[in-house]
Amino acid sequence: MSYLKAAVFDWAGTIIDFGSRAPMEAFVEVFQRFGVTLTVAEARGPMGLPKLDHIRALGELDSVRSQWRAAKGSDFDEAAAQAIYEVFVPLNAEVVSDFADLVPGAAQTVSALRARGLKIGSTTGYTRDIMERLLPLAAAQGYAPDNLVCAGDLWTGRPTPAMMWKCFLDLQIDDPATVVKVDDTGVGILEGKRAGAWTVGVSLSGNEVGLSPEDLAALPDRERATLNTRAREKLLDAGADFVIDSVADLPALLPEIESVLLRRRAVA
């Protein structure tokens, strides 16, 4: 018998797209089209936010504001963010299918969780339009969650708990402490924490390291370990209860989470 009732997964960097690379190409390209040079590191900063909020956050960077003013003769404002967003969504939808491979071990992890009786939920900073491209590609690889909540589905998104609340309703969960939220960004961890769920960060597969499996494997062991340590620290600083390398490590962690859950309930 499992005392946990559901796991809610993020998508890019957590379940699909090892390194969360698809959004980076789109962000760099769309800003370039508006006369602003954006580095990949800058583009990664607000990852996890709904994409319009992500664009707004990038517009607050000094380098972006100065380049925008030079290119457009005006300050970066809400109209600018909306204009970029209108170009970004179809651009991201075009490239996202090129980064749709499941993270190694993801399908097996989901199967193991279902075997324990857990429901599988999902939230994402992607819009519904973008996810329409990804859903069949993920399903063909064996991943079809029980629900999906996208950026734009609700009046607000991450880092608020609103999308998690929708997952609770969809999955018929009445106790947040029986849910595990798995995410590769600090914003996604906050989403889970504020909803009262257990939070598990994924370090090596996600945005904080940002490398493909091949590029990661090519690194010297020491450099790979350093990148992993930095990613783990960021996720822990965001409030993650646990951090694992990737979702492949989640099944082995669940007994520990259940043990802590039972001890806390015994004390209460």
- List the catalytic residue out of 5, 51, 193, 234: 51
Examine the residue annotation and report whether 10 is marked as an active-site residue of this protein.
Answer: yes
Q: Look up tokens 């499941």; give the residue.
A: 102
Encoding tokens for residue 126?
A: 């992607």
Contact 225, 208 (CB under 8 A): no
Helices (H), 97-155: 106-115, 128-140
Q: Which secondary-structure segment (H or E) carries 18?
A: none
Examine the residue annotation and report whether 72 is marked as an active-site residue of this protein.
Answer: no
- List the catalytic residue out of 10, 17, 53, 183: 10
Whole-angstrom Cα distance, residue 13 to residue 246?
Answer: 9
Enumerate residues 6+ apart whose C-beta is below 8 A from 177.
196, 197, 198, 261
Whole-angstrom Cα distance, residue 130 to residue 54?
Answer: 15
Whole-angstrom Cα distance, residue 238 to residue 190?
Answer: 7
Helix and strand numbers, DSSP H then E, in the chain: 12, 5
Give Dmax over CA atoms of the chain in angstroms: 63
Contact 100, 16 (CB under 8 A): yes
Give catalytic residue positions: 10, 51
